[in-house]
Amino acid sequence: MDTDDLNVTNANYERVIAVMNKFLTERYKDLCACPRCLCDIAAIALNYLPPHYIVETPAGKEHGSPWVMVETAVTEAIDRVIEHPNHPRSGSQIRPTDQHRSGSFMS
Ligand SMILES: [Zn+2]
């Protein structure tokens, strides 16, 4: 049996990443998008959701929690990171760039 293409994966992980990408480009344009904040958001959202491990095959992987649940979890996670970022609000130490606009979202 060829098991090269099989993978155990948390189906909700891909959903969370997909929803995050959508929200960050459509709704939360002023959100700090440094790697630290993005990882925090993903981790918090995944903790809200039940794990949904599946065997991933090339045939397809339409599994995971309902999209509305994933979107709720990501919204909660973004709100939490906005209120309690894991780094000082002014200037990211991880990736200081001009894209890093801080403070404007809350005002
Ligand atoms: Zn950040």
Predicted confidence at residue 6, as pLDDT, reads 83
Asked if 45 contacts 16 with a C-beta cutoff of 8 angstroms, the reply is yes
Q: Are 16 and 73 in contact (CB under 8 A)?
A: yes
pLDDT of residue 29: 84
Q: How far is the CA of 37 from the centre of ligand 1 (A)?
A: 4
CA of 88 to the centre of ligand 1 (A): 8
In a 3-state reduction of DSSP, which class is residue 103? coil
d(CA 86, ligand 1 centre) in Å: 7
Is-above-0.75 flag for pTM? no
β-pair partners for 88? none
Distance 97 CA to ligand 1 centre (A): 11
